[in-house]
Amino acid sequence: MNYKPIFDYARETDTILILNGGEGSIDKTFFYLTGAESGIFEGSALIVTPDKIKIITSNLEEESARSTGLDTLVFNSNEEKKKILQDELKNVNTIGLNYSSLTLDRYKELLRIIPDKEFVDVSNTIAEARRLKSPEELDKLREAARIGSRAVEKVIHELKEGMTESELSALLGYEMMKLGASEPSFSTIIAFGSNSSMPHYSPGSRKLKKGDFVLMDFGALYKRYCSDITRTVVFGRASAEQKEMYSVVKQAQTDSMNAIKANVNGRDIDGIARKIIDSSKYKGRFIHSLGHGLGMDVHDHPALSSGYDFPLKENMVVTVEPGVYVPGVGGVRIEDDVIVKKDGFEKITTAPSDLIEIS
């Protein structure tokens, strides 16, 4: 990983400290900077300068750390970890911290370990660097999108009457892992029938029946990079209402996606989709932003939103996911992942997005 671009933005300091806590407070920037593909690295740290990265970790992660080829300092106890941090940072006065991923507990601990330092927030610096994807990152995102696309193409032909939403969720996760994903990139959303009107629905025991919408929102995690895809199909023959709903969403996605290129503002892209939907009978039924950034996090950064001034840049990766939701009836969402190009975009999801009726 080329970590030096971070310092194109970080003018406050030339030393950045990344601190991991426990399971719920692992900073993805640790993996962004090291390229480590295995290991959890709880309680580990990075010291990053324009010339070098040093990994500070426990003996539990020593082998994974050394596989990165980076300098690795190993501790066997918390006291040893504190001593390493004190020694490595003794000649540094100003240290950059990623405040957005640092818990209060870790921050207080750091104040006790090295109380004589000045800390500055470099979270915006890190976010700016992570928004623009390197060629290696783009390849991983393409593969994550390919895995998700192939998996959904397979499972839609395995739909059967009486299967539950949870069964389909498990089947989709299984297919993605068979194809090379380490795991789903987030908790899969499977919604049958009227449940599809809830954008963040959690799959349950509802059984599939003829005439149901089947909304599937899922993603594959590949070498720590995420895809995020949504497909909505009809189990059986689609009604006139279902066809109309799908047609409106499909047009909104097509027209807005075709406007994507570098230097276009994301809120203007959102506006294209929103105008199409609000010009139909489904006015007011598009109740979320058109899309978001994608990377090591599923919601990597804001991107396509009516409330966010966000100029797109080449090599950003964003989702395009308009939707219409009618309580008691159902919902349609179509979501694809695209790479922003200088004069357009590259769609990296390949699963068909026209209305499919599964007989």
Go through the chain and tell me how many residues it has: 359
- Out of 108, 130, 152, pick the residue that ends a domain: 130
Residue 279 lies in a domain: yes
What local confidence, expressed as pLDDT, does residue 1 receive? 56
Is the pLDDT at 2 greater than 60? The verdict is no
Residue 11 lies in a domain: yes
- My answer on whether 154 and 126 are in the same domain is no
DSSP character string of 129-188: HHHSPPHHHHHHHHHHHHHHHHHHHHHGGG--TT-BHHHHHHHHHHHHHHTT-SEESSPP
- My answer on whether 117 and 197 are in the same domain is no
- My answer on whether 167 and 258 are in the same domain is yes
Confidence of residue 24 (pLDDT cuts 50, 70, 90): confident
CATH of the domain at 144: 3.90.230.10
For residue range 72-120, what is the model confidence (pLDDT) as tens digits? 999 999 999 999 999 999 999 999 999 999 999 999 999 999 999 999 9
- My answer on whether 141 and 283 are in the same domain is yes
Residue 1 lies in a domain: no
- Out of 89, 109, 130, pick the residue that ends a domain: 130
Is the pLDDT at 36 greater than 60? The verdict is yes
What local confidence, expressed as pLDDT, does residue 10 receive? 61
Q: How many domains is the chain built from?
A: 2
What local confidence, expressed as pLDDT, does residue 3 receive? 64
Residue 296 lies in a domain: yes
- My answer on whether 256 and 146 are in the same domain is yes
- My answer on whether 235 and 117 are in the same domain is no
- My answer on whether 49 and 180 are in the same domain is no
With contact defined as beta carbons under 8 Å apart, do 218 and 188 qualify?
yes
For residue range 235-251, what is the model confidence (pLDDT) as tens digits? 999 999 999 999 999 99
How far is 94 from 306, CA to CA, in rounded Å?
38
Question: Could you tell me the two tokens for 78?
Answer: 């918390």
- My answer on whether 242 and 351 are in the same domain is yes
Percent of the chain with pLDDT over 70: 97
With contact defined as beta carbons under 8 Å apart, do 43 and 19 qualify?
no
CATH of the domain at 51: 3.40.350.10
* Single pTM value for the model: 0.94
For residue range 151-206, what is the model confidence (pLDDT) as tens digits? 999 999 999 999 999 999 999 999 999 999 999 999 999 999 999 999 999 999 99
What local confidence, expressed as pLDDT, does residue 266 receive? 98
- My answer on whether 114 and 192 are in the same domain is no
Domain hosting 263: range is 135-358
What local confidence, expressed as pLDDT, does residue 125 receive? 87
Question: Could you tell me the two tokens for 123?
Answer: 């979270």
How far is 225 from 137, CA to CA, in rounded Å?
8
Q: Which residue has the higher pLDDT, 125 or 323?
A: 323
Residue 243 lies in a domain: yes
- My answer on whether 142 and 10 are in the same domain is no
- Out of 71, 95, 130, pick the residue that ends a domain: 130
With contact defined as beta carbons under 8 Å apart, do 325 and 198 qualify?
yes
Residue 49 lies in a domain: yes
- My answer on whether 283 and 328 are in the same domain is yes
Is the pLDDT at 9 greater than 70? The verdict is no
Q: What is the mean pLDDT of the chain?
A: 95
What local confidence, expressed as pLDDT, does residue 211 receive? 97
Residue 161 lies in a domain: yes
Confidence of residue 14 (pLDDT cuts 50, 70, 90): confident
Percent of the chain with pLDDT over 90: 93
- My answer on whether 108 and 142 are in the same domain is no
Residue 275 lies in a domain: yes
